[in-house]
Amino acid sequence: MSGVRVLVGTRKGAFVLTADGNRKNWEVSGPHFGGWEMYHVKGSPADPNRLYASQSSGWFGQVLQRSDDGGKTWRVAGDDRVPGGEDFTGKPVQSNKFVYEGVPGTHQWYDGTPHPWEFKRVWHLEPSLTDPDTVYAGVEDAALFRSTDGAATWHELSGLRGHGSGSAWQPGAGGLAVHTVLLDPTNPQRMFVAISAAGVFRTDDGAQTWKAANRGLRSQYIPDPNAEVGHCVHRIAMHRSRPQVLFMQKHWDVMRSDDGADSWTEVSGNLPTDFGFVIDVHAHEPNTVYVVPIKSDSEHYPPDGALRVYRSRTGGNEWEPLTNGLPQRDCYVNVLRDAMSIDALDPCGVYFGTTGGQVYGSSDSGDTWAPIVRDLPAVLSVEVQTLS
């Protein structure tokens, strides 16, 4: 029987939520890695038992965890010891070794001065669509790394940071990070990344070279609102069947591109506010898009204390509030950029997590909602796997 597995990263550990295809009765396991910040947990599309998790701590830095059994057991990637076994080889563990290629150089700091590139943490893990051992990591300070050995070792794809604008990139409030990595399912040479606060970049040659892809974005908070780079893009999303169409939640503005990010147009339409973090696309309707409007960049909570997902069935501009089962008063949580995901069942399920520790799910494409869990630590990321 089909089912789903929801992978939740929080400020103080990871949780795995599982249910059958009805998505009514949930089993919750965790916390895994209790006390650590779990920025992202994601499964391989090529092998649903292969999971990757970014574990980090202000004290002890980055750790990369891997599961080969769907999250039942975990081990540090590259640490091949069996607990209690006599198989110790002394082999170095390098899955948390992220070294920028060449002389790293500088990017801009908040005060406009040059600041050396320094690895801080992995924000986002994007497993290959075809190979369980290949996974991409979007990191802070902004760079893209790839592993081809199941996260045991990492190598920078330095063409991104080598884009001519790299020295001018500045951090957003949360840091300077590659937070979104989209792989084109029809073209293995093409991928998109989004960086706060630089914008969208696209490669068409397997990450050798990158092009800034921000034409049409307009940001009043930078000196040149139409600049080629410098935009605080919060998240981009695509539907597998139509990878030339992209949707974006920018710092302010919801945007759409119909030409593979060559150009963007605003589709905020009738949203109550076009600030927000998450954006995602329906599993079976490429023109159906979900966002969670947030009041403003200084008020990181929903307008009017009412938590509403907005859905557009027209690819933007015309949005309807989805409120059934969501708190409609006294709600002041945020939904962070990696904290929404959509399963592939029919009707598709939609899931999102909040900074208040709730994970909400809808098994009818957003028409009705119910909390799966209410009291986790602040949720940083939500990913769902559809299991057959």
Whether the Cβ atoms of residue 191 and residue 201 lie closer than 8 Å to each other: no
Q: Say how far apart CA 349 and CA 334 lie, in whole Å.
A: 20
Tell the smallest beta-carbon distance from residue 264 to other proteins (Å): 39
Minimum CB distance to other proteins smaller for 74 or for 352: 74
Tell the smallest beta-carbon distance from residue 147 to other proteins (Å): 15
Minimum CB distance to other proteins smaller for 245 or for 380: 380
Task: List contacts with other proteins (CB under 8 A).
Answer: 35-36, 57-63, 76, 79, 81, 83, 90-94, 96-97, 99
Total Cβ atoms within 10 A of residue 190: 20
Minimum CB distance to other proteins smaller for 77 or for 229: 77
Whether the Cβ atoms of residue 54 and residue 64 lie closer than 8 Å to each other: yes
Tell the smallest beta-carbon distance from residue 79 to other proteins (Å): 5
Alpha carbon dihedral 73, 138, 385, 380, in 10-degree steps, equals 80
Minimum CB distance to other proteins smaller for 43 or for 104: 104
Tell the smallest beta-carbon distance from residue 209 to other proteins (Å): 27
Minimum CB distance to other proteins smaller for 69 or for 259: 69
Q: Of 263, 223, 238, 268, which Cα lies nearest the Cα of 250?
A: 268
**Opening angle at CA 364, ends 358 and 369, nearest 5:** 25
Buried b (16+ CB within 10 A) or exposed e, 106-137: ebbeeeeeebebebbbbbbbbbbeeebbbbbb
Minimum CB distance to other proteins smaller for 36 or for 352: 36
Tell the smallest beta-carbon distance from residue 318 to other proteins (Å): 45
Tell the smallest beta-carbon distance from residue 121 to other proteins (Å): 12
Whether the Cβ atoms of residue 4 and residue 342 lie closer than 8 Å to each other: no
